[in-house]
Structure 1
Amino acid sequence: MFDQLDLDDDLCKAVAEMGYASPTSIQSLVIPDAMEGKDIMAEAPTGTGKTAAFLLPVCQFLLDYPRREPGSSRVLILVPTRELANQVHEQALAITKFTDLSCGVITGGINYGTDRDTLSSHCDILVATPGRLFEHIEQESFDCRDVESLILDEADRMLDMGFSSIVHQIASEARWRKQSMLFSATLEGRGVREFAKELLNEPVMHSANPSRKEKNKIIQWYHLADDLTHKNAILMHHLQHTITSCIVFVKTRERLHNLKDYLQSQDIKVTYLQGEMPQDKRNAALESFKTGATNILIATDVAARGIDVQNISHVINYDMPRSADVFVHRIGRTGRAGAKGTAISIVEAHDFEMVGKVERYTKEVLKSRFIKDLRPKNKPPQVTKKKKVKTPAKSKSKTKAKSKTRSKSKKAK
């Protein structure tokens, strides 16, 4: 129970109202160490309660050591995308509901006047995207000297999006901080570990192994598609017969618009998200999908970063992603917080190699399925593994023998 973590009654009351009965595994691991002021480096899958894992201890700190005089934000949370910033801000508001703590959010795509209002309100907790916040630091409209806790959420996504140098500059501006925390879906990449090494001070490392209740219950399979016409027919079958809400992933904006036009020509109502989309249109598309006005969302990987919509029944990989870790991020949009979900991949021959990469990365077998009357005419392609060419032992010995002969001849001279 949360009251066993030495949290304030007002915080426990808030999480109970949010529907949390007991701490998740990542919360149980992180909260005690974070409340002792230790730096944290944590690996936590999406949907396991990591946002509350960092919000609860910093809120407890702010309550234990209240502000003595007006000033800038004391807790700074950096996130890679606008959508994630708004989601973290919403959770912060919910957790601080019964306290006097104030929360604000700053992202790109919003009027600077709104930012000024947020910054002038001296909020205790500020959630921000790195680019927009750094603009305010350069314009001296935000002062990092009061920051006591710096939190980096979805650090792996931040690196992927090229925010490394800006985050380092912000961290340098907030060098008087007492605590830093880094959260990532995976800590496997060298980039994340280097990132953490430069920003954290002797961090405690936590890797959550979610309980069965917390684990995403995602049923997965793939359909082999002969060509684009066959692929479209498989997609149409699922959209018309099996889904209630669905994200369809494509690899490029051009593919997105081609698919959107095709589905609309088939009287399928869709909305879409793509990179470099005006914020008002992006917000409208997300709102339409969240409210159920449109139950099919087409998205590229870049555009879908940070989307957290509950009760998505299906994820369909119309195009396979560029890497296995992106595949995992995609399918994590469904089956959240213990709910059931389905992930379907429609694989053409040129993408079939990715099936094996995903299996090796996730250590799970992706099984194939067929739809009656839509069985593929072609068999799965044979994926050949590249063998490393080793230098034969004999040739090495000959080379050594030659070099010895040369050295002897040189000595003879």
Structure 2
Amino acid sequence: MFSQLELDDELCRAVAEMGYANPTSIQQLVIPDAMEGYDILASAPTGTGKTAAFLLPVCQYLLDHPKHTEGSARALILVPTRELANQVAEQAQAIIKYTDLSCGVITGGINYGTDRAVLEQRPDIMVATPGRLFEHIEKETFDCRDIESLVLDEADRMLDMGFSSVVYQIAAEARWRKQSMLFSATLEGRGVREFSRDLLNEPKTFDANASRKEKAKTLQWYHLCDDLAHKDALLEHHLQHSIESCIVFVKTRERLHALKDKLMKQFSLAYLQGDMPQDKRNAALASFKSGDVKILIATDVAARGIDVPNVSHVINYDMPRGADVYVHRIGRTGRAGAKGIAISLIEAHDYIWVGKIQRYTSESFKPRVIDGLKPKHKAPKLVKKTKPKSKAKRKSKASSTKKRNR
């Protein structure tokens, strides 16, 4: 029970209204130490309640230590994308519903007049993307001196997107903070380790494994595709059968628009890409979340931070650039213990990803066929790369050959 975590009744009441009866694994691990004021370094699978794991202790601290003078934000949550910023802000608003706390959000893609209105409200909690927030710091329209809690959510994604130097600068501006928390999909990368070393002070580290109830129940398989026409036929077959809500991932904006133009002749759909105006992005997500359209085509901008309940299918029309991105894509379905299906459409040049994904996820990744759409070609054989012999070994072999020839 959340009440056993010594959270205020107002927070417990809001969490109960949000439909959460018991804390998840990551929440049970993080919240007690975070409420004691320790810095936190944590990793947890997608869809396991990570956002509330940092929001609840931050809100509890703000309630325990009310501000006595009018000032700037006291808690800053940095996230890599606009969609994730809006999602975190929505969850924060729900959690603080019965308190006097306030939350604001600042992201790129929004006009500066909207930002000015948010900043003038002086919210207790600010959720922001690094680039736009740093613009306000440079213009002296946002002051970090009152920041007491700094949270970096999806830190590995921020590194991937090239935000590391900006994050360091923001952290330096908020150097009087009392607590820092860093959450990442993985704690293994060098960049995340450096973030932790430079920004956290003797953190408590948690690498949470979801309980069986929380783990995504996602069935995964792939179809071998002879060519693009075969791939399109397989995709259309799935979209016509048993699709309740589906995200189709493509690798480029050009591919997105080509596919969108093909599918719009048969299906009602929305699409999401990186350079869309914010109002259009919001409208696309809103139509998909509401169920007005059941198909969302997206580039990898949507692979993180998009939390849409009850996505029944994820289809990889194009394979991603890495096995970690594959995991984030399919994490859009099967969330919080729900069942989901992830299907990959693999042409010969993408077949190398079959082995890579199996090794990365340690899960079965098998082919399936559909009657009438069976591939004409067999899967290509993967040639194992042999490691070149080291210089020392080559010298040793040459030396032994000389001895034998004497």
Query: Which TM bucket (shorter chain)?
Result: over 0.9
Q: Measure the CA separation in 1 of the matches of 2:299 and 2:241.
A: 24
Q: Determine the structure 2 residue equivalent to 1:334.
A: 333
Cα distance in 1, alignment partners of residues 238 and 86 from structure 2:
32
Residue pair 2:249, 2:297 contacting (<8 A) in 1 also: yes
**Number of the residue aligned with 1:363:** 362
Report the Cα offset of residue 260 of structure 1: 1.0
Q: Considering only CA atoms, is the larger Rg found in Structure 1 or Structure 2?
A: 1
Note the C-alpha offset of 1:305.
3.7
8 Å contact kept, 2:304–2:329: no
How many residues were matched structurally?
401
Residue by residue, what CA displacement relative to the aligned partner does 1:312-362 show, whole Å, maximum 9, x if unpaired?
100000111111000000000001111110000011110000110000000
Mean Cα displacement is larger for which, 313-322 or 293-302?
293-302
Cα distance in 1 for residues equivalent to 2:126 and 2:395: 65
Q: Secondary structure at the match of 1:144?
A: coil
The residue number in structure 2 matching 1:295 is 294
| Pairwise CA distance, 1:401 | 11
Once residues 398 and 268 of structure 1 are traced to their aligned partners in structure 2, the CA distance between those partners, rounded to angstroms, is: 67
How far has the Cα of 1:397 moved from its partner? 6.2
Residue 222 of structure 1 aligns with which residue? 222
Aligned counterpart, 1:130 = 130
Aligned-partner Cα distance in 1 for 2:246–2:13: 34
Letter in 1 for 2:179: Q
Assess if the C-alpha contact under 8 Å between 2:26 and 2:49 holds in 1. Answer: yes
Give distance in 2, aligned partners of 1:61 and 1:302. 33
8 A contact 1:273–1:304 mirrored in 2: no
Distance 1:397 1:380 in 2: 38
Opposite residue 306 of structure 2, the aligned amino acid is I
Partner residue, 1:72: 72
Which residue matches 1:116?
Answer: 116
How many Å apart are 1:183 and its aligned residue?
0.4
- Percent identity, please: 74
Structure 1 residue ranges (4+ consecutive) displaced by more than 2 angstroms after TM superposition: 302-306, 391-395, 397-402
Computed over aligned residues only, the root mean square deviation of the Cα atoms, in angstroms, reads 1.6
Instruction: Give the Cα–Cα distance (whole angstroms) in 2 for the partners of residues 279 and 56 of structure 1.
Output: 28
For 1:263, give the aligned amino acid: L
Bigger Cα displacement from structure 2, 333-342 vs 115-124: 115-124
The reply to whether residue 193 of structure 1 matches residue 193 of structure 2 is yes
Which residue matches 1:155? 155
> Unaligned stretches of 5+ in structure 1?
403-413
Aligned to 2:36: 36
Amino acid at match of 1:72: S
SS at match of 2:249: strand
| Paired residue type of 1:41 | L
1:384 paired residue number = 383
Distance of 2:93 and 2:357 partners within structure 1: 38
After TM superposition, give the deviation of residue 304 of structure 1 in Å.
Answer: 4.3
Shift of 1:175: 0.3
Deviations 1:15-59 (A, max 9, x none): 111111111000000001101110000001111001110011111
Matches within 5 A, 1:179-190: 179-190=179-190
Q: Alpha-carbon deviation of 1:306?
A: 2.4
TM-score, normalising length: structure 2: 0.96
Q: Helix, strand or coil for the counterpart of 1:27?
A: helix
Partner of 2:254: 254
Q: Equivalent residue of 2:83, what SS?
A: helix
| Alpha-carbon distance between aligned partners in 1 of 2:215 and 2:393, rounded to the nearest angstrom | 50
